[in-house]
A and B are shown apart, each in its own frame.
Chain A
Amino acid sequence: MVDAAEKTSGAGKYTDDLSVPGMLVGKILHSPYPHARIKRIDISRAEQLEGVITVVVGKDAPNPYGILPVGHDEHALALDKVRYVGDNVACVVAISEAIAEKALELIDVDYEVLPAYFDPEESMKASTDLIHDNKPNNLEKDYHHIFGDPDRGFAEADHVAEARFIANEVTHAAMEPHSTLAAFEIDPHTGKPGRLTVWSSTQVPYYLQHKLSLVLEMPMAQIRVIKPLVGGGFGGKSEVIPIEIIAAVAARKAQAPVKITYTREEVFWAHRGRPRTIIDLKTGVKNDGRITAVKARVVQDGGAYCSYGVVTILYSGALLGALYDIPNIQYDGYRVLTNKPACGAMRGHGTVNVRFAFESQLDELAAKVGMDPAEIRRRNLLQPPCITVNGLRVQSYGLPECIEKTVERSRWDERKGKLPRGRGLGIACSHYVSGAANSIIRSDMPHSTVNIKIDRDGGVVVYTGASEIGQGSDTMTAQIAAEVLGCSLSRVRVIAADTDLTPIDIGSYSSRVTFMAGNATLRAANEVKKLIAAAAAKKMNCQPDDLVFRDDVVGKREGRVGTAAIGRPAEQSSAATVSGRVEGQILRGSLQQKRKDDGPKDQMTFEEAVVAAIDFHGALTGTGSYAPPPEARGGKHKGAGVGPSPAYSYSAQVAEVSVDEETGEVTVHKVWAAHDCGRALNPVSVEGQIIGSVWMGMGQALTEEMVWKDGMLMNPGLLEYRSPSSVESPEVEPIIVESIDPEGPFGAKECSEGSLAATIPAIANAIYDAVGIRLHESPFTPERVLAALRSKKNAKALNLTEGVDPTSPKGFREHGGSLWFKGKGPERHPLDPSRHEPAGGAD
C-alpha cells in the first residue's frame, strides 16, 4: 500500500489530528426529545460565559440541504423542530472543549413535545403530527415494480415459500469519529472573509463542496474541501453529515477557524446506517429447482430524514435481479420516516437485508425440492451477456466459479449434512454494483476525471478526486498509472481528494472507485504514454506502436530478446540516472540527450524518454475521464436509475458454525468466501476487502444491533454495540475469482462490498444445518436462537415479532445503557402511539 507507512508510523494526519493557529472548538447541543417543536432558544447565558466566542443556531444557516436532490429536508441546526433524540439544536464555539461543554448546559430551549413514531408500520398510519409536513403518512417514498408476470410465475411453481424476515438496524461504527475543521481566509481584493477551506472526514469531498455552497450561499469555487486520511467510512461518511456544515457556519459566525469532532455517542446519533428492514418475501420454484417468481414487500425504518433513503429502497428491489435468472419479479418498497436518527448508505447498500431473506428462503425451498443448496443455486444461473428482466446489463459473471471454488475448498460435498449435531455448513451467494451507472445528481458529467503530469525529473504525479478511506484507492491509482507507463511504483505520487487541486470525482461509495476512477486513470496514463511514445519513436526511428514500456525502460518491440532483456539494463540505468545524477543535469538533459542520441537506439530509459517527450511536445500531461456507457444505464421505468452498473461483482460463501443448544450461542468457525472481482489489481488488498466484508456481515449476523427504547439508543458505545473483537472473529479464507470484465480497468470490478451480503444468510443456513432452526430475524443472538429452539421443541409456531413492539422493547431485547441516559426516558406526549404503558409502568 502506498500510504502504509504514514498509517503504521502514526505520522499520517486524520482530520482531528489537524490544528491551525487560532482554532476554536465547537460542541453541539442535541435534542433530548424524539419529536418536538422548538418554541424558544435562549443562548444569552451561554454566550456570556468566559471563553465562549459564539453560539450558532438554526437561523444562522436556514437553507435546507440533503444528499439527494429529492431529499433536501435537513438543516445544519434545527429551525423549528427536532425529529430524533440527538438531533442538532445549537453549537457552542469556545476556546476549549471543557468550556464549550459547560456552555451547552446554559442554553435554554423550550420544547413542545409531539407524538413520535418509532415503528415504520405504525408510522405509515399517521395522519397528524407528521415528521415532515410534506410527507403524508410519514412515507418518504414508495415504489411498486412488476417485471414479467409474477402471478403466472407463482402458478407455474411446484413449491412456494412465504415468510416475513426482519433485519435489525446496524451502523458503520468506523473507528474514526467524524471530524471537520473549517477556516475562512481573507480575500485579498475585498479585505473581508473570503474563501473557505474545509478539512473533513468524508468519502465525498465534491458533494460536501456542493452542499456547503448551497447552505452558505457561496460559489463552489470559493470553497476548498480537503480530505485528509479517513479512518474508515463504510458509507457513514458518504454523505454530508451535520457537523460538516455546522463547522463551516460556526467558523463564519465566530470569525475564526473551528474544529468539531464527534464523540463516539454522537457518531451513533449521526448514524446513516442500515435501516431496520421488514421483508415479506415469497418465492416459487419448480421441481427442477428453477425459480419461477419472486415477490417482495420491503419496509425500511428510515429514521427522521431522507438521506440516501430513496436510493436504498430502490436498491433493495433492483438487486433482486442480476444474481440469478429470475423471470418474474414483483417489488413493493416503502421507505418510511420515523423519529430516530436517519439511516443512509452502508456497505452493501440496500441489498444486504433482502439478500439475507432471499438466500434463506432459497435454502428452505432447496429442502422442499429435496435438492442440495449449492445445486439449486447452480440451476438458477444467468447466461451472460444478458439484460435481466428489470433492465440490468450483466457481462462478466464469475458466480459459477465462485460456487465451485467455495464448495471445493470447504469440502461441502463430503461434509454437508454429515457433521455432528450442533455443527453445520451453510451456503449463500451475493453480488454488488461496481459503481452506480447513474449519478445521484442527474447530468452528463463524467463520474471520474484524472490528470497526470510528468516532469523532467521522471516523476509521475497523478491528480485524482477519488477518496482513499482505507479501501486502497490511492494504491490502486498509483498501480494503474505505473502499469500503463511501465515505470516503477516509487516514481508515482498520488495527489487525491482536494477540490482545489484534483479534478471532480463523485466520491468513494457504491464500490465505484476501482472501476470508474481506475478507468479514468488508465485513460489519462494512456494519453501521456502516447505522447512519450511519439517522441521516443522519433528518437529510435520506429513507429510508436513498436515501443514497449516496461521496468522503467522504453524499448523497441523487435529488439526484445526476452522480457528479461529489457528488465536488466533498466535496473542499472535507473540506478545510474536517478541516484548518480549530478545537480543541474536534469535541466541539461536535452543537450546531453542530443549528444548521446547520435544514432538511433533500441531503448531509452524512462527519464530519457520523458525528457525527449517534453522537448518535443512542450508539456507532458494527460487527462482521462470515465462515464458509464449508455447501454449500462438501465431501463425506463420509474426508479430505473438505481441498480444499473457497468459491472457486477459476485460472491459465494460457505460458513461453518456450531450452535450451543444450552446457551443459544452461535460460533462461526470459518468462512470460505469466493469473490469475483474481475481482476485482482492488488491481491493483498482484495483479500483484505473480502475478509473485512465477511467479518462485518458476521457482526450483523450475530451480535451487532442498535437497540432502541422510545427513540433513545440504548447502546451507543462500541462495546455495548458489540463490534466483534479478535476472539469472536473467525478465520476467513478469501478466494479470488477473476472473470476479467470487458470494461473494467485491466478487467477489474468491485471487491469491497459484494461479499458482505452473503455472510448473513450463509450463517443462517449453517445454523439450520446444525440444529434445524430457521432464524428469520437478525442478529442471531442467543435469545433468538434459544427461543427458536424452544418453539421447535414444543412444535409451536413462534413469531418473535408478532405482538412485540420492537420500538419499546421489554425483556430480552433490552440491554446496554447510554452514557448520556441518566435513568429516565425522554418525556412522552400523552397521545404518543408508542406509549402503550401507563405512565411509570415501563421503567
Chain B
Amino acid sequence: MRKELIELRINGRADEVAIESSALLLDVLRQDLQLTGSKRGCDDSSCGACTVLVDGVAMMSCTLLAASCEGQEITTIEGVSEHGSLAAIQKAYGEWGGAQCGYCTPGFIMTVKSLLAENPDPSESDIRDALSSNLCRCTGYNQMYEAIRSAIAAERCAVTNSEHGK
C-alpha cells in the first residue's frame, strides 16, 4: 500500500507522518512517533490501555484510523505532564497505589482527564462509571478512587492558593 503524508497535531505540536491509509492511530503514535506511553493491551477496544484524547474526548487509539484524526487535537499521556513535572493526577496515582505494574495507567489517566474536564466534582459512581472503559488486573480499582479524590483536592488547593496570590 502506498503511504500518504498527513499532518497530525499531537500534544500541541504538528507532526508530519507518512502512513498507509489503514494505519491505526496507536501504531502511528508508538512506531512512527516513538510516543510509547500509550499501550496496546488488546486488539479490539477491550482494555483501554491505548486511550488518548481526540479533541478532548477519550478515544481508544487501537481502533482509530490515524488518517481520520487529521486536523484534530490529539493528547497522549506524554502531553499530560506539565512543564516537565507530573500533573496532580499522575502524582496522586503514584502516591496512592493507583499504579502497580503501570501498564494500564496511561490509559486510565487519559480517561480520568476527560472525566474531570467534563465533571470537575464527580461522585463515587460517576468515577466508577467513567473508569469502566478501562481494565486493570493489578489494583482492583480501589486505590485509583483514592488517587482521583486526592488529585481533585490537590487541584482545588492549587487553585485556591493561586487565587490568594501564593
Contact = CB atoms under 8 A, between A and B. Distances in A.
Interface string B76-103: 1110110000100011011111111111
Contacts of A833: none
Given A175-B41, A231-B103, A726-B132, A5 B137 contact: no
B43 A176 contact: no
Interface stretch (A118-126, A149-157, A591-599, A690-698): A690-698
B165 interface: no
A518 interface: no
Contacts of B49: 175
Contacts of A696: 137, 140
Contacts of B77: 9-10
Interface string B131-158: 1111111111111100000000000000
B46 interface: yes
Interface string A259-270: 001011100000
B33 interface: no
B49 to A, nearest CB: 6
Contacts of B86: 5, 8-9
A263 B78 CA distance: 24
B39 interface: yes
A727 B126 CA distance: 10
A655 to B, nearest CB: 14
A687 B137 contact: no
A321 B77 CA distance: 48
B141 A726 contact: yes
In which size bucket is the chain B interface?
35 or more
Interface string B101-127: 111111001000000000000000001
A471 B40 contact: no
A687 B86 CA distance: 24
B30 interface: yes
B163 interface: no
A8 B137 contact: no
Given A5-B94, A175-B103, A232-B103, A688 B36 contact: no
Given A8-B109, A231-B102, A264 B46 contact: yes
B46 A717 contact: yes
A255 interface: no
A421 interface: no
Contacts of B38: 10
A732 B146 CA distance: 13
Interface in A770-828: 819
B37 interface: yes
Contacts of A6: 102
B131 to A, nearest CB: 4
A174 B102 CA distance: 11
Nearest to A728: B132
Interface stretch (A12-20, A384-392, A531-539): A12-20
Interface string B13-51: 000000000000000001000011111111110110100
A691 B132 CA distance: 18
Contacts of A691: 139-140, 142-143
Given A11-B37, A726-B128, A229 B47 contact: no
Contacts of A263: 43
B4 interface: no
A718 B136 CA distance: 11
B41 A177 contact: yes
A7 B105 contact: yes
B140 A732 contact: yes
A77 interface: no
B24 to A, nearest CB: 11
Nearest to B106: A10
Contacts of A174: 101, 103, 137
Interface residues of A, number: 55
A717 B42 contact: yes
A692 B30 contact: no
Given A10-B78, A264-B42, A175 B139 contact: no
Given A17-B30, A175-B137, A8 B91 contact: yes
B109 to A, nearest CB: 7
Counting chain A CB atoms within 10 Å of each CB, which of B30, B95, B101, B131 scores highest? B101
Interface string A232-272: 11100000000000000000000000000101110000000
Counting chain B CB atoms within 10 Å of each CB, which of A5, A264, A472, A725 scores highest? A725
Given A8-B99, A174-B101, A684-B96, A234 B137 contact: yes
A732 to B, nearest CB: 6
A1 interface: yes
B76 A10 contact: yes
Interface in A697-744: 717-719, 723, 725-727, 729, 731-732
Contact of B36 (A10, A176, A471, A685): A10
Nearest to A470: B101
A173 interface: yes
Contacts of A684: 95-97, 143
A172 interface: yes
Given A230-B101, A470-B101, A9 B81 contact: yes
Nearest to A231: B103
A172 B137 contact: yes
A4 interface: yes
Contacts of A723: 135, 137
Contact of B100 (A14, A688, A819): A688
B97 A470 contact: no
B100 A471 contact: yes
Nearest to A726: B131
A657 interface: no
A4 B99 contact: yes
Given A10-B36, A470-B102, A4 B143 contact: no
B139 A9 contact: no
A466 interface: no
A469 interface: yes
Interface string A479-495: 00000000000000000
B140 A727 contact: no
Contact of A718 (B80, B135, B140, B142): B135
Contact of B140 (A11, A172, A719, A729): A729
Contacts of B98: 8
B143 A9 contact: no
A1 B98 CA distance: 11
A175 B135 contact: yes
Given A16-B40, A232-B138, A695-B140, A8 B46 contact: no
B77 to A, nearest CB: 3
Nearest to B81: A9
A519 B24 CA distance: 47
A472 B36 CA distance: 22
A9 B138 contact: no
B148 to A, nearest CB: 11
A760 to B, nearest CB: 15
Interface string A172-188: 11111100000000000
A757 to B, nearest CB: 16
A170 to B, nearest CB: 12
Interface string B40-70: 1111101101000000000000000000000
A231 B30 CA distance: 17
Given A688-B143, A731-B142, A7 B102 contact: yes
A211 to B, nearest CB: 23
Interface of B: 30, 35-44, 46-47, 49, 76-78, 80-81, 86, 90-91, 93-106, 109, 127-129, 131-144
Given A12-B102, A229-B103, A723-B135, 6 more contacts: A5-B86, A8-B109, A175-B138, A232-B137, A718-B46, A726-B144
Q: Which 4 A/B pairs are nearest by Cβ-Cβ distance? A: A10-B37, A470-B101, A4-B94, A7-B102
6 contacts: A175-B39, A175-B135, A231-B102, A725-B134, A726-B128, A726-B129
